[in-house]
Structure 1
Amino acid sequence: MAVFASILMSLLGSSSAPTPLYAIYQQHWGFSPITITVVFGVYAVAVLSALLFFGKLSDHVGRRPVVVTALVVQVVAMAVFMGASDVGALMTARVLQGLSVGAAVGALGAGMLDIHPRRGGFLNSFAPMLGTASGAIVSGLIVQYLPTPTRLVYAILLVVFALQALAVLAMPETVSRKPGARASMIPEFKLPRSARAGVAIAVPVMFAVWSMSGLYGALGPSITRALTHSTSVVWGGLPLFVLAVSAALTTVTLRSAGARSVMLLSIGTLILGAAITVLAIGSGDGGTGSVIGFFVGTAIAGIGFGSGFQGGIRLVIPQVEAHERAGVLSLLYVVCYVGLGLPAIIAGVLVVHGGGLIVTSREYSITLIVLALVALAGLLRNGRRNRNRLEAQVSEA
């Protein structure tokens, strides 16, 4: 359990580690904000591709082979990052990184559920948040205060992934093999009947909260530079760190709460956090009030992020069998990474060809509020339908 959770943390940490470095890459290579969001989006597309093709593979060949292969690919990605000298190399590394993460997250999550369903469900929502937080801030501190900023963080991660691969090789398998591995790599959107109702509720919320994460991952460094007038890369990684830490603490706090209550909290705090962020960004004057408001909104939105992701997993996964877990988890991650990548790419285009950074960030936040309201309507409608069904059953009895 500890090994799988640590790998999930490391993988998500490595995905957020380049965030504070984008300013340095931009300074050295002279690319536009569109390029930053495209690099961010390329990673999301690679994750989605791996989820679609390899998401169910571990249900057939076992968790260990999939995780070890993903870690080997991650080691190669870190080596490419270390040697990157242009945008092409950066994108290549992000693609390799995305393929590795996409192939591994379903297997890791299912493996933890194999070992202990309740603790595994908690760690599935907690470990990614903690990894995202630590990757962003640790990378920023390394880049700011240690030598060779564009290489050292990747060298450290390379060693971590190599050691984790050795640990997985020493572990027993958590699930028995079953035929159909080749067929499982043909993408299909097929849900077990038992999970469909839960997925219908979870998907709008999970899409919305991961879109919020995309805002901070793609535009967070630029927003903080505009508000603080600081060139420090630590500031660049701080918004994603605050969002993810808030999400991780929320996951711990709400681990015993009901899934539907958690989802409602997610929607409410996402709306509130996005609204405060709109007000803070909207001033655009770089004053202290704007900075404080931005980070307060970020922390509140982080509550929505953590509760929405946790609530979605807890609502869906208990409804499926062991041999269906990796596939269903991967499908949920598909929704998450579409939410993460697509709005961020659109925002990057709007920053350059639309109203600029401040206007685009404000519009992005308002769009998230609308998405959250749509998710709220769906959740309330489903709850009313369930109550009517229960009342009908009582009447018949």
Structure 2
Amino acid sequence: MSVSALPGNQTPPPSGAAPPRRKRRELNRPAAFAALAVVFVLFMAASSAPSPLYVVYQQQWNFSATTLTTVFAVYVLGMIAALLVLGALSDHLGRRPVLLSAIALEAVSMALFLTADSVALLLVARLVQGVATGAAMTALGAALADLNPSHAPHRAGVVTGAAPTFGLGLGALGCGVLVEYGPHPTRLVYVLLLAGLVLAAAVVAVLPETSLRRPGAARSLQPRLRVAPHLRADLLRLVPILVASWALGGLYLSLGPSVAVGLFGLSSHVVGGLVVTLLTVPACLTAMALRGWPASRTLTLGAGLLFAGTVVALTGVEEDSLLTAALGTLIAGVGFGASSLASFGTLARMAAPAERGELFSVVFVISYLSFSLPAVAAGIAATHTGLHETSVAYAATVAFLAALALLAQWLHSRRTPDRTACPQT
């Protein structure tokens, strides 16, 4: 064949030379951003899926509220360990390898859930799941920030603030429906999640890599919490609202279905899922609706509604009024969403690319310590003093923290007027 006969008049390769390597197919940046958002939701849905099942496991294996919240907290223990050790790894190895490893580990946890026949195996499954989720969350947050579209530079903050709450609600409600109406109530949800993880791995494998390899990966595995000096003041200001909102979320995801059964006599597993959804879905919708608001106003609104909603829900518990408790949960969910939007959006916007992995590690450690430790304390208290008294004391503490966050935001706004807008799409 002559040279001119080759397509495009290309020069033939030298005799014996290896054929040129084909470029690996990758998703474009908008598609990759959307895919990462879906993967984020999948991880969070998987993390909340066991919540409606806790009551089922408790009935099958006859364990106490203390054991129930321990199972819940073991997940957070694994997550925090992963955040401390693996939080900055994607800054060195790249986002894609870390995400693929996290998905594989999450799949292992789903297999453990499928075969769980005792509390011990349930604890192992939750621990593995926590490690996988912790490894994924910082890489997902950093990759979303890397892939921000140029016409909407703060969209990653919206997704990072909304995806956790939407995923938590979706997982809890979806599992509740499957447990109530589907076959094999303690198995089906994990089969579906496992299939979703297989699809997620296939998608992540064709994502563009947004973080170049750089030295120091082994050194980054040393457990540490570090925040760049110029970010510390803003992070410290956000601590009260992070603690208040995530502590409330921990109560709903650990003991919420038990409260529905024990205090209001609602035995439907769908209701157990709705308890979580009533908090998390309004949070997600709020994060989307308020994305153009100034950060200072959004934080103030979030703290105020978190306080008001918790007080209303507490009133419902005290008066044995399901409607009042549900209304309070909805109001608190709006506050949760507003605070998450402003908190994660502000920090995602301010951090440089090389700082994002470490920063998200610190933020998630604060959030999930608040998510787990108070819930474990509540489980111990419920075992010894009763579910009603524990719920009242817990809600009162969250209301106090929300009031403290409101005060901190008011003092900050007096010193430094905030002209920074929240993330916009």
What TM-score does the superposition give when structure 2 sets the normalisation length? 0.88
- SS class of match (2:213): coil
Q: Which amino acid aligns with 1:150?
A: T
Which stretch shows the higher mean deviation, 223-232 or 86-95? 223-232
Q: In structure 2, how many angstroms separate the alpha carbons of the residues matched to 1:369 and 1:249? A: 22
Match of 2:53 in 1: 21
Pairing 1:265-280 to 2, within 5 Å after superposition: 265-280=301-316
Match of 1:391 in 2: none
Pairing 1:227-238 to 2, within 5 Å after superposition: 227-238=263-274
Structure 1 position 384, deviation (Å): 2.6
Q: Which amino acid aligns with 2:364?
A: Y
Native 8 Å contact 1:260 1:315 kept in 2: no
Q: Which amino acid aligns with 2:103?
A: L
Structure 1 position 373, deviation (Å): 1.7
Structure 1 position 130, deviation (Å): 1.2
Native 8 Å contact 2:77 2:130 kept in 1: yes
Native 8 Å contact 2:96 2:204 kept in 1: yes
Match of 2:346 in 1: 315
Q: In structure 2, how many angstroms separate the alpha carbons of the residues matched to 1:230 and 1:263? A: 34
1:305 pairs with one of 323, 336, 361 = 336
Match of 1:61 in 2: 93
Gaps of 5+ in 1: 285-289, 388-397
Native 8 Å contact 2:156 2:345 kept in 1: no
Pairing 1:90-169 to 2, within 5 Å after superposition: 90-116=122-148, 117-169=153-205
The Cα offsets for residues 189-219 of structure 1, whole Å up to 9 and x where unpaired, read as 2211221121011111111100010110111
Match of 2:82 in 1: 50
Match of 2:243 in 1: 207
Native 8 Å contact 1:227 1:291 kept in 2: no
Native 8 Å contact 2:146 2:210 kept in 1: yes
Q: Which amino acid aligns with 2:338?
A: S
Structure 1 position 320, deviation (Å): 1.5
- SS class of match (1:228): coil
2:111 pairs with one of 55, 67, 79 = 79
Native 8 Å contact 1:195 1:317 kept in 2: no
The Cα offsets for residues 319-366 of structure 1, whole Å up to 9 and x where unpaired, read as 211111121012111111011000000000000112x10111011000
1:189 aligns with 2:221: no
Q: In structure 1, how many angstroms separate the alpha carbons of the residues matched to 2:408 and 2:327? A: 28
Match of 1:368 in 2: 398
Which stretch shows the higher mean deviation, 79-88 or 158-167? 158-167
Structure 1 position 378, deviation (Å): 2.0
How many residue pairs get aligned? The number is 382
Match of 2:408 in 1: 378
User: Identity over the aligned pairs, expressed in percent?
Assistant: 39
**Structure with the bigger percentage of helix:** 1
Structure 1 position 46, deviation (Å): 1.0
The Cα offsets for residues 7-28 of structure 1, whole Å up to 9 and x where unpaired, read as 1101110111001111111111
Structure 1 position 227, deviation (Å): 3.9
Pairing 1:239-250 to 2, within 5 Å after superposition: 239-250=275-286
Native 8 Å contact 1:273 1:298 kept in 2: yes
Structure 1 position 68, deviation (Å): 0.4
Q: In structure 1, how many angstroms separate the alpha carbons of the residues matched to 2:164 and 2:187? A: 23
Structure 1 position 126, deviation (Å): 1.4
Structure 1 position 386, deviation (Å): 2.3
Q: In structure 2, how many angstroms separate the alpha carbons of the residues matched to 1:56 and 1:108? A: 12
The Cα offsets for residues 36-87 of structure 1, whole Å up to 9 and x where unpaired, read as 1111111111111111111111011110011000000000000000000000
Native 8 Å contact 1:194 1:320 kept in 2: no
- SS class of match (2:186): coil
Native 8 Å contact 2:66 2:380 kept in 1: yes
Gaps of 5+ in 2: 1-32, 418-425
Q: In structure 1, how many angstroms separate the alpha carbons of the residues matched to 2:123 and 2:394? A: 24
Native 8 Å contact 2:180 2:268 kept in 1: yes
- SS class of match (1:175): coil
Q: Which amino acid aligns with 1:68?
A: L
Superposed CA RMSD: 1.3
